[in-house]
Amino acid sequence: MDTQVAIIGGGPSGLLLSQLLNRAGIGTVILERSSRAHVLARIRAGILEWGTVELLHEAGVGARMDAEGIPHDGCYLSDDSTMIHIDFKELTGKRVMVYGQTEVTTDLYAAQDAMGTTILHDVSEVEIHDLDQAKSHIEFTHEGTRKRLNCFYVAGCDGFHGVSRRTIPDEIRREFERVYPFGWLGILSETPPVNDELIYSNSSHGFALASMRNENLVRYYVQVPLSDTVEDWSDQRFWDEFSRRIPSEAARRLVTGPSIEKSIAPLRSFVSEPLRWGNLFLVGDAAHIVPPTGAKGLNLAASDVYYLYTTLIDALNGKSTTGIDEYSARALARIWKAMRFSWQMTTMLHRFDGEDAFAEQMRKATLSHLAHSETARRDLAENYIGLPF
């Protein structure tokens, strides 16, 4: 099999890159480890920066998002005594979109099917070869047979546990990591949202986030110890804990119901540099992970795709290879700023086990500064709605 760009991973990064390349007449083949049903069932991100919204439009997949997504002009940060409103619209002129990652992925699969793109699911034992040659190839197992895909470029869109990053030799790769001592327990429940905008709550009992998918589907989270499992958290225990962590005026409005999904995600900051090695380009979670507190994971994947796709088109059309040479540095400049923001939001809003009284005072002072300084709120809003591509 031959293609111009081989894409490893059929998550949001791989699908969006493929869709944008296909629309420019570039051929792609996507190799995905899981079934489509499995990819579509993974409940993850919920907030799209406006730059991501525009890129999805550019990819021709904006129609359902426009009809069903919910634009949000602000969010709340709170502690036990204060609710701080961050008015994105007033502070930056921009807003974000509530539209789940599962919906983005569904729309992209539909668009790719309409485009006739080859997407192979349930592939295994993927190996990338000849990255330093004019043409590279990938060997993989599909339907019990070992197969070969020849290509000019390889896009490593295979997430944190994928093979692409590990194909780059150890002596070339530099990794930066911070693992946080807690996770987020998230539930989906078919109940009306407790508030019309998101609430990020730093309570004395720990962090909670009230988010949503639509007017009758909520996504709520609580900070939990890493040792906890989903089995430790009955629905009743979740609702009791969540309601004492959100501001009391919101808790009075809380409607509870059965959970339809429940999962725990550990929190981590991670960057692997460089993003390019020979004909291989790392995109999205394959290269970096942010803790979810700033809602940046999916949005960073989209900005990587933005930086890569036009430069791949230029290179493959024989125009210029300057763009692909610059991809790693351009994408990393934005990635590190989102890393900083996500780390800062995480530090400001969570209780760390064993922390000293000084750390607690710093958190309180940071929130108090936000409550009283429009400049501080504007800085937070500018980062939350997304730095320019």
Residues engaged in binding ligand FAD (CB under 6 A): 8-14, 31-34, 39, 44-45, 101, 123, 126, 157-159, 161-163, 265, 284-285, 292, 295-298, 301
Q: Which helix (H) or strand (E) holds 74?
A: strand 74-78
Distance, in Å, from the CA atom of 14 to the CA atom of 305, rounded to the nearest integer, reads: 8
Nearest approach, Cβ of residue 8 and ligand FAD (Å): 5
Distance, in Å, from the CA atom of 309 to the CA atom of 307, rounded to the nearest integer, reads: 6
> Is 76 annotated in the active site?
no
Q: How far is CA 165 from CA 319, 332, 372, in A?
A: 28, 15, 44
Binding characters for ligand DHB, 45-74, by CB under 6 A (x = yes): xxx---------------------------
Residue 211: burial class (beta carbons within 10 Å; 0-12, 13-18, 19+): buried
Number of residues written out for the chain: 389
> Is 296 annotated in the active site?
yes
Nearest approach, Cβ of residue 266 and ligand DHB (Å): 13
219 binds ligand DHB (CB under 6 A): yes
Residue type, 80: D
> Is 200 annotated in the active site?
yes
Nearest approach, Cβ of residue 13 and ligand FAD (Å): 3
Nearest approach, Cβ of residue 56 and ligand DHB (Å): 17
3-state secondary structure of 172: coil
Q: In what order do the strands lie in the sheet with 96-98?
A: 47-48, 96-98, 70-72
342 binds ligand DHB (CB under 6 A): no
367 binds ligand DHB (CB under 6 A): no
> Is 161 annotated in the active site?
no
Q: If contact means CB under 5 to 8 A according to the sort of partner, which of ligand DHB, ligand FAD, none does residue 85 touch?
A: none
290 binds ligand DHB (CB under 6 A): no
Instruction: Pick from 155, 295, 331, 339 the residue near ligand DHB by CB under 6 A.
Output: 295
DSSP state of 2: B
CB 126 within 8 A of CB 163: yes
211 binds ligand DHB (CB under 6 A): yes
Nearest to 228 by CA among 211, 245, 241, 243: 241
386 binds ligand DHB (CB under 6 A): no
- Give the interface with ligand DHB as residue ranges (CB under 6 A): 45-47, 198, 211, 219, 292-293, 295
